[in-house]
Amino acid sequence: MAKLADNRPYHVDLAELMRIYETNYAKLNRLIPLQPLVGDIRCYQAGRLTYQLEVSEVTKYTTLVEIFQDDELPVFPLPKMTVRLYHDAKVAEVCHCESATRVKARYDYPNAKMLQRDEKFQLNQFLSDWLTFCLKNGISRAPIMYRG
């Protein structure tokens, strides 16, 4: 018998989300410059895939990093993401993604964009997995001009 849809309200597991933010901060700091400046670009190749991280904003307590894939026809496309690092709290979170201009902690489901109830959690977990992949398999390369 098919299982019916779960209609219980989704509750954010704040402790788990904060753990992911903290690990993303530590991982991302290994891939960007120690004293980042606006316009700094780091390029990594993992297998046949090429990724770039570009610093787009630096303030006293935060750094904003754009992450995107630089392959023309990627087999496994990485969504373009904007990640904010909060240096005082030592956390990093996905604040923009191709699927959402502002990622909310939870969404009603179903919704017009068909975002998951825990979209924020899933995006940050994806970032964590991707950063782990880059740290284990990535090779630093010279930056490539972004083709948009």
Tens of pLDDT, residues 92-113? 999 888 755 666 655 556 666 6
**Is residue 1 pLDDT above 50, yes or no?**
no
**Is residue 145 pLDDT above 70, yes or no?**
no
Report which secondary-structure segment, H or E, holds 94: strand 91-97
Q: Which long-range contacts (CB under 8 A, 24 or more apart) does 76-80 make?
A: 76/49, 78/49, 78/51, 78/130
Least confident of 53-57, 86-90, 97-101: 97-101
Q: State the first-to-last Cα distance of the chain, in angstroms, to the nearest integer.
A: 47
The per-residue pLDDT of the chain, averaged, comes to 80
The pTM of this model reads: 0.78
**Omega cis (within 30) before 110:** yes
